Amino acid sequence: MSDEDHDFTQQSGSNSSLTFPTPAGALKKGGYICINSRPCKVIDLSVSKTGKHGHAKVSIVATDIFTGNRLEDQAPSTHNVEVPFVKTATYSVIDIQPNEDPSQPAHLSLMTDEGDSRDDLDMPPDAPLAAQIKEQFEAGKDVLVVVVSAMGTEQVLSFKNAANN
């Protein structure tokens, strides 16, 4: 029995650092929710009237923040749903190194505002976005990429040119 308890604690500990519980009735459009263990951004909410069992249902439509897939869920308004911790950071692109395997995305060298560098991120899987970043960088412009982190995944989701150009 202690083995089962240990496993449960371990799962709870790793999951608790990635998400937090929130009543379904407290969700807002533009907020975040986990659906099928995926971090999603809420795009539509509707609340049904209280039923014969005393709970209003919240119908949630959301898009996966990394893939853009549309997901739907329902929950009683008083029950907790999991909400991911989502962090957004902006980095300057220092360099783009091609991958040795041409089928894999190129690697990014990035710098924070504090001057720290990172070399652990790849170009985004979205081919048009990756092409725009590469095109702007090769044109000599200062490119800033927006990196979103949630549930153990980090990915470049957008970019912008620095204001001094």
CATH at residue 100: 2.40.50.140
pLDDT grade for 161, boundaries at 50, 70 and 90: confident
Q: Is 90 in the same domain as 79?
A: no
CATH (domain of 68): 2.30.30.30
| Model pTM score | 0.79
Quickly list DSSP for 29-75: TT-EEEETTEEEEEEEEEEPPP-TTS--EEEEEEEETTT--EEEEEE
Name the residue range of residue 61's domain.
Answer: 19-84
Determine the average pLDDT of the residues in 94-113: 89
Helices and strands: H and E segment counts in the chain: 2, 11
Q: Is 63 in the same domain as 124?
A: no
| Cβ atoms 62, 42 nearer than 8 A | yes
**CA atoms 88, 93, 96, 97: torsion sign:** negative
Q: Is 150 in the same domain as 93?
A: yes
**Tens digits of per-residue pLDDT, 38-54?**
999 999 999 988 877 77
Q: Residue 156 and residue 92: Cα distance in Å, rounded?
A: 12
Q: How many domains does the structure of the chain reveal?
A: 2
Q: Is 112 in the same domain as 125?
A: yes
pLDDT > 60? residue 27:
yes
Domain boundary among 41, 67, 84: 84
Other beta carbons within 10 Å of 87? 10
Domain boundary among 84, 106, 133: 84
Extended beta strands in 3-162, E state: 19-23, 32-35, 38-47, 57-64, 70-76, 80-84, 86-97, 107-111, 117-122, 143-150, 153-161
pLDDT > 70? residue 10:
no
Q: Is 111 in the same domain as 75?
A: no
Q: Residues, the chain, total?
A: 165
Domain boundary among 58, 84, 110: 84
Determine the average pLDDT of the residues in 27-47: 96
